[in-house]
Amino acid sequence: MNPPTIPFPHRQIHLDFHTPAGVTVGDQFDATTFFDTLETAKVNSIALFAKCHHGYSYFDTKVGTRHPGLGFDLLDQMVAESAKRKMPVLAYFSLNVDEVFAEAHPEHVAQFRDGKPVDSQILQDGSELYWRWLCPNRGSWLETFFFPHVEECLRLHLLDGIFIDMAGYLPGSCFCDDCQRLMNEQGIDPNDDTAHQQFNSATHDRFARELRRRMDAIRPGLRLEIGCYNAFGEAAKAKGVISDFYAETLAFQTGWLAFPLLGRYLSNTGVPVMGMTGRFLKNWGDFGTVVSPAQMKYQVATHLMVGAASCIGDHMHCNGALDKAVYQTIGEAFSFLEPRQQWCVGMKRLREAAILIPDGVENAAMVAAKGNGVSLFDTLYGAVKFFTEEHIQWDVVDASMDWSDLRTLVVANPPATEAALGKLEAFVADGGSLSVDPNAILTTASFAARWHALLGVKSAKHGEHPGTYYSVSGQLAKGLPDMAHYVHAPGLELKPATGSKVLARLKTPPFVRSREHFYGHFHGPDILDAGAAMISSQEGRVLTFAQPLLAAYLHTGYHAHRTLLRNVFQKLLPQRLLRTNAPGQLEITLGKKDGKMVLQMLPFIADRRDRNSFESLNEPILIGGFTITLTSGPQVRRIYDPLSGREVNFRKTTRGMSFRPPPVREHQLLIAEMEPAG
Ligand SMILES: [Zn+2]
């Protein structure tokens, strides 16, 4: 495998072009205008279409089917002009979604367990995608059609790389005869969801490695972007195959917390990460929408916050012309981004806490944690929201990564292996602390007793109530209204082991609400004591929760949960990299690059007044009058805004270096130069 030889670009456009038959294509394409528009918008890399989901190609192909409404070699004209401009081009190929091919060859379409073809995908907002999905294992179409098509394109055009989309299966597939036969040969039980998911992942890993081999045979070291490694437990396999991750998150589809989580996780593999957002309001292909310049700047600034490069998704009109108005907004965002990227892209994040994500679990586990009402992602996003609002410097790690510099971990799933448990035990023995979510407690693993011993838990079982109360006192109650607080999510009944401390009591209504037996409008008041809500063990370094507080905070935004969590993390993480009285709407991250400290601030203030509306960020609002104290590390010599050159005054206090940043309206960068060590 060859490393990529092309410099990793920072401001890419992903130019979707899924175009069905029945329309005229490219009649208004003009290569000069097209690239002038891109260059004016500060674009320095682009993915252009070789083959779309409809199955049409946009170049003169002998292997595939040129779009019937296209009268010339569009891709060739695009690539020829890009070469003059020295703008790198990736050629886009849709792998498993190809309507032309699926229509001609239904014998290669993926199948559900009942033998029905995979031909529908429901998105989070309820909209449906109608295309069919092919199965790479079903027949030999990769060898006879797909690989030759990519190879033909690479030989015809001077490309910088290949972008592969739709390298995956929809949930519940594939159970075609070939997949069943291969699983049988490999001793995989097709009824084991986890094993089936791993088999599916292996199918696309094999595909990607073969594609890399064939690309290298034509021109070594080309860029390759493919999404099949963007999953927990899969990312590390991408090394040596892909050139960079594209971490695609459109906020309407995934929410605003997805990129910070995914981007951090992927970048810990050591492979460069490019964040991919979109110009659209909702989904890809949401023609007639462009987000506000303020929002677009926010979207790409979230990439800076984790040290990633940026890509913005667009969808070209079938006439082949770029929309000038769209590129005005993209240009505003990329012009804003350009001077900031040199400071942020590739920086090393400074971190003190991390979310430990499950390693080697199936994707399905991400959608719904089994047997409990809260999904794994609710817990993970709850942690992202809490850490962001509390200005805790956080990261995302899995069991295989290095945690040695971390001081506290959020554990959302039980350890998958004895080795992972051993690593957690060693982490705690070395002085690290854990906060353990209820979803992480129950396990059928052979080492369950050893896990529970670390947690100080004697026994645990699912509680009957759809929600329960916690009651706390002392330091943990600081700032909390003095009452029992309700958690609107089911939890566990926990019994502490001998030697553990119960730090919060669990209270319940007198009975579970039902038609036969109900109490007023909602749940009843806190009447029964149901044992432990929070257990402390290992001299206070491990806190285990009966209630899914992080998920409940995500769902309800209840201030009491945040206050309790703040008090909990005061115990688990008493020393911080920074302290501030800035509001939680201001995200602050610390990084290091070229020996300098990189401090980034990014306000998130959404326009939302109706419970059914979506958070758009149309008007930036000034946040000011706060202080930041950098509490550790070497002595600061100088703090300045590298874009304006303006110096920021600071003073030494007993807690560290304190300063008042200028008021922040949008992404703000400050650089701290340190005194030389020693
Ligand atoms: Zn199959």
The answer to whether 231 and 237 are in contact (CB under 8 A) is no
How remote is the CA of residue 192 from the centroid of ligand 1, in Å?
16
- Least confident stretch, 150-154, 589-593, 632-636: 632-636
Continuous H helices in 241-395: 251-254, 258-267, 293-306, 324-344, 364-367, 376-390
The one-letter code for the residue type at 338 is E
Q: In angstroms, what is the span from residue 110 Cα to ligand 1's centroid?
A: 5
pLDDT of amino acid 123: 78
Which DSSP state fits 574?
-
Dist. CA 458–CA 661, nearest whole Å = 49
CA distance 543 to 434: 6
Fold of 11-346: TIM Barrel (3.20.20)
CA distance 52 to 163: 11
Using a 10 angstrom Cβ sphere, with 0-12 exposed, 13-18 middle and 19 or more buried, the burial of residue 585 is: middle
* Domain 578-674 top-level CATH class: mainly beta
Give distance in angstroms: CA of 181 to centre of ligand 1: 9
Strands (E), 157-207: 161-165
Amino acid at 175: F
**How much is the average pLDDT of 436-440?**
96
Collapse the DSSP code of 2 into the 3-class scheme (helix H, G, I; strand E, B; otherwise coil) and give the result: coil
Q: Residue range 414-425: average pLDDT? A: 95
Q: What average pLDDT does the segment 455-460 reach?
A: 98
Q: What is the pLDDT of residue 168?
A: 94
Q: Distance between CA atoms of 4 and 519, rounded to whole angstroms?
A: 65
Q: Is 633 helix (H, G, I), strand (E, B) or coil?
A: coil
The pLDDT of residue 612 is 85
Written as one string, the DSSP assignment of 400-418 is: TS--TT-SEEEE-S--SSH
Q: Does residue 472 surpass a pLDDT of 60?
A: yes
pLDDT tops 80 at residue 368? no
Tokens of 662: 């200028």
* Ligand 1 geometric centre to CA of 375 (Å): 28
Give the C-alpha distances (Å, rounded to integers) separating 569 from 357, 572, 574, 586.
19, 5, 7, 19
> What's the chain's average pLDDT?
94
SS3 call for 267: helix
C-beta of residue 281 within 8 angstroms of C-beta of residue 289: yes
- Amino acid symbol at 270: G
- The secondary structure of residue 569, as a DSSP letter, is H
* Strand-pair category, 668-674 with 596-603: antiparallel
Task: Name the pLDDT band for 369 (thresholds 50, 70, 90).
Answer: very low
Q: How far is the CA of 265 from the centre of ligand 1 (A)?
A: 29
Ligand 1 center to 173 CA (angstroms): 7
CA of 17 to the centre of ligand 1 (A): 27
- For residue 593 the two structure tokens come to 């690059």
What pLDDT, on the 0 to 100 scale, is given for residue 1? 41
CA of 121 to the centre of ligand 1 (A): 17
pLDDT tens digits, one per residue of 117-134: 999 988 777 889 999 999
In 3D space, the residue among 536, 386, 374, 542 whose CA is nearest the CA of residue 463 turns out to be 374
Q: How far is the CA of 601 from the centre of ligand 1 (A)?
A: 47
pLDDT tens digits for range 537-571: 999 999 999 999 999 999 999 999 999 999 999 99
d(CA 437, CA 494): 12
Going by their DSSP bridges, the two strands 542-545 and 433-436 should be labelled as parallel
Q: For residue 270, is pLDDT > 70?
A: yes
Query: Who contacts 203 (Cβ-Cβ below 8 Å, separation ≥6)?
Result: 136, 137, 179
CA distance 669 to 591: 11
DSSP string across 524-551: PPS-EEEEEEEEEETTTTEEEESS-HHH
Spacing, Cα 116 to ligand 1 middle (Å): 12
Ligand 1 center from residue 98 Cα (angstroms): 15
Return the minimum-mean-pLDDT range out of 78-82, 453-457, 519-523.
519-523
For residue 632, give both structure tokens.
């550790």
Rounded to the nearest whole angstrom, what is the distance from the C-alpha of residue 364 to the centroid of ligand 1? 18
Ligand 1 centroid to residue 133 C-alpha, Å: 10
pLDDT at 372 over 60: no
Q: How much is the pLDDT for 261?
A: 96
Is the pLDDT at 403 greater than 60? The verdict is yes
Q: Are 419 and 399 in contact (CB under 8 A)?
A: yes
Q: How far is the CA of 57 from the centre of ligand 1 (A)?
A: 25
Distance of CA 593 to the CA centre of its chain: 23
How far is the centre of ligand 1, averaged over its atoms, from the C-alpha of 179 (Å)?
Answer: 4
- The DSSP-derived string for 430-486 is TT-EEEE-GGGT---STTHHHHHHHHTEEEEEE-SSS-EEEEE-GGGGTTS-SS-EE
More confident call, 531 vs 404: 531
Domain limits, the chain: 11-346, 353-572, 578-674
| C-alpha of residue 134 to centroid of ligand 1, in Å | 8
Give the alpha-carbon dihedral of 403, 406, 412, 415, to 10 degrees. Answer: 30
The pLDDT value recorded for residue 370 is 42
Architecture in CATH for domain 353-572: 3-Layer(aba) Sandwich (3.40)
In this prediction, residue 633 has a pLDDT band, given cuts at 50, 70 and 90, of low
- Tell me the CA–centroid distance for residue 362 and ligand 1, in Å: 17
Report the C-alpha gap between 655 and 668 in whole angstroms. Answer: 24
Q: Tally the C-alpha atoms within 13 A of residue 98's C-alpha that lie toward its C-beta.
A: 33
Distance 144 CA to ligand 1 centre (A): 17
pLDDT tier, 248 (very low <50, low <70, confident <90, very high otherwise) = very high
Report how far ligand 1's centroid is from the alpha carbon of 539 (Å): 52
Å from CA of 203 to ligand 1 middle: 9
Q: Could you tell me the distance, in angstroms and rounded to a whole number, from the CA of residue 174 to the centre of ligand 1?
A: 4
| pLDDT score at 366 | 43
Q: How far is the CA of 176 from the centre of ligand 1 (A)?
A: 4
Exposure letters 375-387 (e unless 16+ CB within 10 A, then b) = bbbbbbbbbbbbb
Query: Is 430:408 a contact under the CB 8 Å cutoff?
Result: no
State the distance from the centre of ligand 1 to the C-alpha of 112, rounded, in angstroms: 9
pLDDT at 125: 74
Tell me how far the alpha carbon of residue 284 lies from the centroid of ligand 1, in angstroms.
27
Q: Is the pLDDT of residue 253 over 90?
A: no
CA of 109 to the centre of ligand 1 (A): 8
Tell me how far the alpha carbon of residue 185 lies from the centroid of ligand 1, in angstroms: 14
pLDDT over 90, % of the chain: 89
Q: Ligand 1 centre from 119 Cα, in Å?
A: 14
The reported pLDDT for the residue numbered 649 is 96
Sign of the dihedral defined by the CA atoms of residues 43, 47, 52, 53, in that order = negative
Question: How many whole angstroms from 232 Cα to the centroid of ligand 1?
Answer: 22
pLDDT at 373 (0 to 100): 65
What six digits make up the tokens of 248? 């695609």
In Å, the largest CA–CA distance within the chain is: 79
**162 Cα: distance to centroid of ligand 1 (angstroms):** 24
Ligand 1 centroid–CA 231 distance in Å is 20
Per-residue pLDDT tens over the stretch 30-89: 999 999 999 999 999 999 999 999 999 999 999 999 999 999 999 999 999 999 999 999
Give residue 169 CA to ligand 1 midpoint distance, Å.
9
Going by pLDDT thresholds of 50, 70 and 90, the confidence category of residue 674 is confident
Helix axis angle, 193-218 to 147-156, nearest 10°: 30
The Å distance, Cα 423 to ligand 1 centre, comes to 37
Q: How far apart are CA 377 and CA 232, in angstroms?
A: 12
* Residues whose CB falls within 8 Å of the CB of residue 632, separated by 6 or more in sequence, listed in order: 575, 577, 656
The radius of gyration of the chain's CA atoms, rounded to the nearest angstrom, is 26
Find the 226 Cα to ligand 1 centroid distance in Å: 20
CA of 452 to the centre of ligand 1 (A): 40
* 143 CA → ligand 1 middle, Å: 16
Residue 362: pLDDT over 50 = no
Query: Where does the pLDDT of residue 235 fall: very low under 50, low under 70, confident under 90, or very high at 90 and above?
Result: very high
Q: Residue 367: its pLDDT value, please?
A: 43
Residue tagged 């060739």 (tokens)? 76
pLDDT mean over 630-652: 91
Omega into 174 within 30° of 0, i.e. cis? yes
- What is the 65 CA–ligand 1 centroid distance (Å)? 24
In which residue are the tokens 């038959």 written? 21
SS3 assignment, position 124: coil
Which of 433, 341, 347 minimizes the C-alpha distance to 392? Answer: 433
What is the per-residue pLDDT for 675? Answer: 83
Residue 636 near residue 670 (C-beta atoms within 8 A): no
Please list, in sequence order, all residues whose beta carbon lies within 8 angstroms of the beta carbon of residue 347, skipping any fewer than 6 positions away.
307, 591, 592, 593, 598
What distance in angstroms lies between residue 19's CA and the mean position of ligand 1's atoms? 26
Tens-digit pLDDT profile for residues 171-219: 999 999 999 999 999 999 999 988 999 999 999 999 999 999 999 999 9
Q: In whole angstroms, what is the distance from residue 407 CA to residue 427 CA?
A: 9
Find the 252 Cα to ligand 1 centroid distance in Å. 31
Measured distance CA(255)–CA(469) in Å, rounded: 28
Give residue 590 CA to ligand 1 midpoint distance, Å. 45
Q: Rounded to the nearest whole angstrom, what is the distance from the C-alpha of residue 104 to the centroid of ligand 1?
A: 17
Where does the pLDDT of residue 365 fall: very low under 50, low under 70, confident under 90, or very high at 90 and above? very low
- Kindly give the distance from the C-alpha atom of residue 108 to the centroid of ligand 1, in angstroms, as a whole number: 8
- Greater model confidence, 407 or 652: 407
The pLDDT of residue 565 is 98
Distance from Cα 154 to the centre of ligand 1, integer Å: 28
